[in-house]
Amino acid sequence: KLGCAEGGCGACTVMLSRYQPDTQKLLHFSVNACLAPICSLHLVAVTTVEGIGNVARKLHPVQERIAQSHGSQCGFCTPGIVMSMYALLRNQPKPRMLQFRLTTNLSLPSGNLCRCTGYRPILEGFKTFTGACCRGRGRDNGCCLTNGSAAEKLSDDVTPPLFNAAKFMPLDPTQEVIFPPELMRSQSLCFHGNRLTWFQPTSLDEFLRLKWKHPNARVVVGNTEVGIEVKFKNMVYPCDCVVCLCNNTVVVSSGRWGEHHDCQPHIGPEPCVYGSRLQTHTDGQR
């Protein structure tokens, strides 16, 4: 898939799924397809927007809600935004309102550009997946939307609802496509091409040995820099080594406001690209 071809618009977003042998769990994360080298998809399941539903067969609840909530105008960005939300729901089928606010406020505007809607209808439609109110200040049950004199004076004639959430099809996580069993293994990869040697280790020790043997190898995580330099600046990197898929190199830490971040403590302090905030919010502590 290709949009802006430089990881800027997010229209080409797809979901990648990988089995983690150390935890025996699946990791779902969204990436820009235009920056994901084919070599990096070894033992990875790729899910596109066409793969989760279509108008000919059946729309996925994420697709239906962004359409019914008027979250698509020109439609250029819609597939990428759908897949970003889909990846979140695959990891957290029932996200809390706080988790949703943190992930969408921090990730959607930066990873998926929309110049038509201003994001408001998109976020309003996706909020229905939380199944809870914003828990703002208010009387009785604490919901600021239903308590207070201002809410009592609202009229549907003046402020009609944007959509009827009761008519949305429910999200059933058990009906999602299963992860291919043949991909549930861990294997190092060494790909030799005419212009490139691609190393994909599965452990930190293996990565360090490769880096010692090939000191000039370019370390690749999300390919956001190397991919741009090769495509637009005609840079040549004959040897690349991917580190973000190594086991036991990703940990989850809490930020100032309670948000969770993936990071590479053994490699550097920067947040890991493929494990974005959009997928790392969980109900409990990890």
Q: Which of 18-27, 120-129, 270-279 has the lowest mean pLDDT?
A: 270-279
Candidate ranges 146-160, 179-193, 216-230; pick with highest mean pLDDT? 179-193
Nearest C-alpha neighbor of 182 from the set 44, 16, 15, 26 = 44
pLDDT in tens, 74-87: 999 999 999 999 99
All domains of the chain, ordered by start, with CATH? 1-154 (1.10.150.120)
Residue 284's pLDDT is what?
40
Q: What is the mean pLDDT of the chain?
A: 77
Q: Is the pLDDT of residue 116 over 70?
A: yes
Does 60 or 29 have the greater pLDDT score? 60
CA distances from 89 to 18, 23, 216, 275 (A): 16, 20, 39, 15
Residue 50 is predicted with a pLDDT of 94
pLDDT at 44 over 90: yes
pLDDT per residue over 250-278, tens digit each?
Answer: 555 555 554 445 444 433 333 333 343 33
Q: Which amino acid is at 83?
A: M
The whole-angstrom separation of Cα 42 and Cα 112 is 25
Q: Please tell me the predicted confidence (pLDDT) of residue 109.
A: 56
What number is the average pLDDT over the span 236-261?
Answer: 67
pLDDT tops 70 at residue 102? no
Whole-structure pTM value: 0.77
Name the strand (E) or helix (H) holding 42.
none
Higher pLDDT, 4 or 147: 4
49 has pLDDT over 70: yes
pLDDT of 66 above 90: yes
Distance separating alpha carbons of residues 25 and 38, to the nearest angstrom:
23
% pLDDT > 90, the chain: 26
pLDDT of 210 strictly over 50: yes
